[in-house]
Amino acid sequence: MLVPLVGEAWLEYELKRFTVREYLKPLLPEDIDTLLLGCTHYPLLTPLIRSAAPVIALLDSAITTSEATARALA
């Protein structure tokens, strides 16, 4: 559901906020400290994810993938 919210430009803020909270709800009791944003769409939801789970570190897979590629090619 998160990809269509971004990919189809469903920009209604409250719907996105609700959906992000619902997707994070099962993770929060697990006391995770890091969340890998494993899709190119997810970084666009970073402000909403940070709002719902401010103590969780977010890893943007696009950035880490490009950094790993640069190291491999160096």
Query: Alpha helix locations (H) across the chain?
Result: 2-7, 13-24, 46-52, 61-73
Task: Provide the CATH topology of domain 2-73.
Answer: Rossmann fold (3.40.50)
What's the whole-number mean pLDDT along residues 28-54? 90
| Confidence (pLDDT) at 52 | 92
pLDDT at 59 over 80: yes
Instruction: Give me the pLDDT at residue 13, please.
Output: 77
| First-last CA distance in the chain | 38
Q: What is the mean pLDDT of residues 9-15?
A: 73
Residue 51's pLDDT is what? 92
Q: Is 11's pLDDT higher than 70?
A: no
| 47: phi then psi, degrees, rounded to nearest 5 | -60, -40
Total-model pTM: 0.74
Domain boundaries, the chain: 2-73
Distances (CA, A) of 6 to 16, 36, 68: 9, 17, 26
